[in-house]
Amino acid sequence: MNNPFFKNNGPFRIEKLLNLSGLDNINNFKNQKINDIKDLSESTLKDITFFHSKKYSELASKTKAQFCITNESLKKYLPKNCNKLIFKNVLIATAKITKVFYPDAVTDDFDNTSKDINKTSFKKKVKFGKNVLIGKNVKIGKNCSIGHNSIIEKNVIIGNNCSIGSNVIIRNTIINNNVHILDGCIIGKKGFGFFSDNKVNYRYPQIGAVIIDDNAEIGCGSTIDRGSMSNTIIGKNTYLDNQIHIAHNVKIGHNCIIAGQVGIAGSSILGNNVMIGGQAGVSGHLKIGNNVKIAGGSGVIKDIPDNSKVMGYPAKSLKNFIRENK
């Protein structure tokens, strides 16, 4: 993932990187230069990555990373030419190293670069309400509108023919054409990413973005968190109802319809033409296939194959649910 918004402080020599992170250099690595930290699939010979769960063993076996943060039980899955950095708590070590590369991605303070839209060049090209603020590194296309009391914070790209409602906050987001963001949405803020170690919670830098594709609609009061090490994506012609939460790294396909008060936990992937009823929940790190229908109030805790219809908690085949609840 080439991040368009957060500055990378690298490259670092591996010895210095571990020292700045407060981590032990047990193998006494010295001069290898590391450009960035990336996930297993996107890492190159100039990067460091992490591997914390056997669930990702196939990806780990194919990684091209020069270094990988992992533990004793998982190192056997990595390629021989990948240098292993062994730590008891892989995720905390990863958080510390990511913070060295991207220190500005840890916190989300208010954007002090924001100006009244009347003091920017956008006043001549955007239809806007009262008390609208615009931050640095913002681009807005043709025929767009922004409602009252909304803030387009730094690092936002908005395409053509988009409407942004009132009381909306957007940052670290790329919005394509013909997108409607309704009132009260918060898009692109950091996700719920931290790791516990005894009595200390380590915040994980959220270095991804939110990408909303063409013709999508985001309902009132919805929240979409930016990605941690990959992007959060809303596909083309996908409609989200009111009060929906999309966590970091979630990827939703094209032509999906998601009803009110649905929550989708981090890193889950939804295919195309998925329909989800109101107040359903999808757990993290799951794969939901194409053309899946999830009934309202369901709790999804495992992968769902293409063309399935499910209901209940835990979500099961609609036919089985009806049979068991006659």
78, 68 Cβ separation under 8 angstroms: yes
| Pairwise CA distance, residues 277 & 5, whole Å | 34
Q: Which two tokens stand for residue 15?
A: 């010895």
Query: What does the angle CA 266 – CA 173 – CA 124 come to, to the nearest 5 degrees?
Result: 160
Which among 245, 248, 254, 285 is annotated as catalytic? Answer: 248
Q: Is 180 one of the annotated active-site residues of the chain? A: no
On the CB side of 155, CA atoms within 13 Å amount to 22
12, 100 Cβ separation under 8 angstroms: yes
Closest CA to 5 of 172, 228, 190, 213: 172
Angstrom distances, CA of residue 167 to CA of 77, 133, 243, 275: 48, 11, 14, 28
93, 85 Cβ separation under 8 angstroms: yes
Please give the positions annotated as active site.
248
